[in-house]
């Protein structure tokens, strides 16, 4: 069985397990939808009070908001196993994974595909739809390319961050909550256009953690505002790939960390 088939099998089992409690699943998804919808209410309140954010309209901000939330929902659902990886290390269960003749990354990815996260995904999708139709952006081929590249790049980046966070547990044993700054904090940050933030902040999220590269830059292309900020259009098309590069680096680091793994023995 190849890796992809095996992953499919893992996910199939996980989905079946979650579908055992259909009502609970439905309620949780609805709950997630409601919770994230309330978050958008906060942005609406500020626009109702101030009219605009620098020279961004609410429909434009909605595009940033929707995309980053969709991407995070997917990455969160996919990377659930890495998120709870600290426990695997603490009680020594990771040893079992090492004994199996498959890559540990695949096995951990297969732990769970969290379906209830789709509440956030749906909300993001609705808001992107509203934004695109309000701004009357035609879905031409370049626009579709930019949107999907931004989406794929952001999912890859968030997966990379979660894997990086899990990798650190090889050394620290304890899971580092502080890394939530990059995941949840990243979502909060990228909900708004990066131009409103301070210089150093923008640089950090461009060159160290390429959050601006995967969301802000390609969406500037979609909104047709790249030239205003002195960004060449080709950068918008290429920058989302940095998310995938980040993910590959994180996987590399994971392999190094794995070699340093020392079982807690419990």
- Summarize as ranges the residues that interact with another protein (CB under 8 A): 24, 27-28, 31, 34-35, 38-39, 41-42, 45-46, 48-55, 174, 176-178, 180-181, 185, 188-189, 192, 196-198, 201
In angstroms, give the least distance from the CB of 52 to another protein: 5
Q: What would the two tokens of residue 138 be?
A: 């035609």
Between the CA atoms of 56, 65, 144 and 72, what dihedral angle is there, to the nearest 10 degrees? 150
In angstroms, give the least distance from the CB of 19 to another protein: 16
In angstroms, give the least distance from the CB of 81 to another protein: 20
CB atoms within 10 A of CB 101: 4
Closest to another protein by CB, 10 vs 120, is 120
Closest to another protein by CB, 6 vs 46, is 46
- Separation of alpha carbons 52 and 62, rounded Å: 12
DSSP class of residue 194?
G
Closest to another protein by CB, 27 vs 98, is 27
Between the CA atoms of 3, 4, 10 and 13, what dihedral angle is there, to the nearest 10 degrees? -150
Closest to another protein by CB, 46 vs 231, is 46
- Separation of alpha carbons 189 and 197, rounded Å: 9
Q: What would the two tokens of residue 233 be?
A: 């259009």
In angstroms, give the least distance from the CB of 245 to another protein: 24
Closest to another protein by CB, 8 vs 185, is 185
In angstroms, give the least distance from the CB of 86 to another protein: 13
Phi, psi of 56 (to 5 degrees): -100, 140
- Separation of alpha carbons 70 and 158, rounded Å: 11
In angstroms, give the least distance from the CB of 196 to another protein: 4
Closest to another protein by CB, 79 vs 119, is 119
Closest to another protein by CB, 54 vs 262, is 54
N- to C-terminal Cα separation, the chain: 32
Which burial class, exposed, middle or buried, applies to 97 when counting CB atoms under 10 A from its CB (0-12, 13-18, 19+)?
A: middle
- Separation of alpha carbons 158 and 185, rounded Å: 11
Structure-token match 């009070």, residue found:
49
In angstroms, give the least distance from the CB of 226 to another protein: 20
């Amino acid at each position: 069985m190849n890796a992809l088939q095996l992953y499919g099998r893992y996910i199939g089992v996980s989905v079946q397990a979650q579908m055992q409690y259909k009502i609970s699943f439905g309620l949780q998804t609805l709950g997630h939808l409601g919770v994230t919808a309330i978050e958008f209410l906060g942005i609406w309140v500020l626009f109702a009070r101030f009219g605009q954010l620098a020279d961004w309209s609410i429909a434009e901000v909605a595009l940033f908001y929707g995309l980053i939330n969709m991407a995070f929902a997917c990455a969160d659902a996919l990377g659930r196993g890495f998120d709870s990886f600290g426990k695997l290390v603490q009680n020594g269960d990771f040893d079992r994974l090492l004994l199996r003749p498959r890559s540990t990354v695949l096995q951990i990815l297969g732990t769970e595909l969290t379906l209830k996260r789709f509440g956030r995904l749906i909300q993001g999708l609705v808001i992107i739809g509203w934004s695109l139709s309000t701004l009357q952006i035609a879905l031409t081929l370049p626009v579709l390319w930019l949107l999907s590249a931004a989406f794929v790049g952001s999912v890859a980046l968030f997966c990379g961050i979660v894997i990086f966070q899990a990798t650190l547990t090889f050394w620290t044993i304890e899971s580092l909550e502080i890394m939530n700054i990059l995941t949840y904090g990243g979502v909060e940050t990228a909900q708004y256009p990066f131009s409103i933030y301070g210089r150093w902040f923008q640089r950090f999220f461009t060159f160290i953690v390429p959050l601006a590269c995967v969301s802000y830059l390609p969406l500037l292309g979609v909104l047709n505002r790249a030239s205003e900020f002195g960004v060449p259009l080709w950068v918008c098309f290429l920058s989302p790939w940095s998310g995938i590069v980040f993910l590959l680096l994180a996987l590399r680091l994971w392999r190094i960390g794995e070699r340093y793994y020392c079982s807690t023995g419990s």
